[in-house]
Amino acid sequence: MKRNRNKTRQNPAENPILHATIESLDQEGRGVAHVDGKTIFIDGALPNEHVTYQSQRIKPSYEVANVVSVLKQSNQRVVPKCPHFGLCGGCKLQHMDAGAQVAAKQQMLEADLWHIGKVKPENMLPPLYGPTWGYRHKARLSVKYVDKKQRVLVGFNEKGTRYVADMNSCEVLVPEVSALIAPLQDMIIQLSIRDKLPQIELAVGEANQKNTAKAVDDKPVIVLILRIMDALTEHDETHLKAFADAHQVQIWTQTKGPDTIKPFWPLVGAQLQYSLPEFDLIYPFKPNEFTQVNPQINQQMVNRAMQLLQPKAGEKIADFFCGIGNFTLPIARSGASVLGLEGLANLVDRANESAALNHISNATFGVADLFKMTEESLTDLSLSHGAFDKWLIDPPRDGAFELVKAITPASAPKLIVYVSCNPATLARDAGILVAEKGYRLSAAGVINMFPHTAHVESIACFIKN
């Protein structure tokens, strides 16, 4: 009997086990195959492998499946380092050689640029590599009290579910943070609010504090933000303070929105910060403020951006979606006059703080909703600040569609460096810049900001014809 592929059985475990040959990886790190003309996305499979699979979700035009067995193995397959890989949803590609991961991401970038934007880079930049383990300095961990087992789970969610993975370590987190997972579980089980603490957000700063008190024993500065849904008892406070002192971490709390985030213990601790040594820059930041999760790669990314932008004294440069000034201040070091625009006022405040700390006077910052940019507002910006010679754009995943659509001949810079965390929206915006705004895509390449995940960070350079 022919299988009905348009309906998933009520129990996916009853779906038949079938064969497939994997052709490529998709944007989520799944193997892509075609069976009877239908696209099958197979989690755990690598290109050129022959596998058996079982579908978990069946739609009219595609299926989502898991690998059952690998009959012909890729030479790119490796043994995952983390014992929780496969259960934990934090990583997707630990079973793939690290170099092959980067090559696959470069292929994804090229494919999106062509299929979505109908553009090809004149030059493919060498990929930017960095540490593949212990690199992650920021993360959001879920917390779950399991009453039946009298246990607390702390970690990332399980793959494809909202359940918290049962884990006691994490190979991609900074080692000092990975070592805190089990002690956190033991500590939280003793709290009265153990079932009212759904999340811990963590941030790690550099150990060598140049402008603030030096971290104890040169250890990194670690801040844990506990999202608490009920009042702490005196007993709870005692346990939290003891944990912070024993593990040399700072505990902050959040009761409602972001404006309720505040230090709990110690009340005054070492400042979180990161540095860009090549530009003699230090950036202080709050634990809930956006910074790149991989500081080693961030240094390489900024260097690459400056190489492409080539800022010079006397130029006027705009940095859109500037955040806390990650690119703005290195641009300013060149002597160029730079304007950083960002949608969040707290990040603009932090950027101004960093500019003052680093004695930079040729960078100014402002708050602007860049998702509502129009030709008129962009023209007004050029009139008030003077025409910009160059742009740097570093948008969130939604990209910079409104901004690039707003470009007119009068406001068009001669060069744009575009840093992207989503190749699909980069490709869309690249298509507009090339087909409608008179630019050519001179170069593009990937930045492996998130090893062992399917996340693709990239950078591109556009030059006005």
Instruction: Give me the active site residues, please.
Output: 421
Is the bond into 266 cis (omega within 30 degrees of 0)? Answer: yes
Measured CA to CA, the distance from residue 319 to residue 330 in angstroms comes to 11
Maximum distance among all Cα pairs of the chain, rounded to whole angstroms: 76
Measured CA to CA, the distance from residue 182 to residue 161 in angstroms comes to 22
Measured CA to CA, the distance from residue 185 to residue 204 in angstroms comes to 20
Contacts of residue 256, defined as CB under 8 A and 6 or more positions apart, other chains included, come to none
Q: Taking the mean position of all CA atoms in its chain, how far away is CA 332?
A: 25
Residue 162 DSSP label: S
Identity of residue 72: K
* Residue 260 DSSP SS3: helix
Contacts of residue 211, defined as CB under 8 A and 6 or more positions apart, other chains included, come to 273, 282, 284, 357
Q: Taking the mean position of all CA atoms in its chain, how far away is CA 58?
A: 30
Phi, psi of 427 (to 5 degrees): -60, -45
CB-side neighbour CA atoms (13 Å) of 143: 26
Q: Which two tokens stand for residue 291?
A: 């910074």
Dihedral sign of CA atoms 233, 235, 236, 241 in order = positive
Residue 45 DSSP label: -
Q: For the sheet containing 24-25, what is the strand order?
A: 17-21, 50-58, 62-72, 38-43, 31-35, 24-25
CA angle, corner 89, sides to 111 and 36, nearest 5?
A: 50
Beta bridge partners of 318: 339, 391
Contact indicator for 95, 44 with CB cutoff of 8 Å:
yes
The closest alpha carbon to 117, from 423, 430, 393, belongs to 430
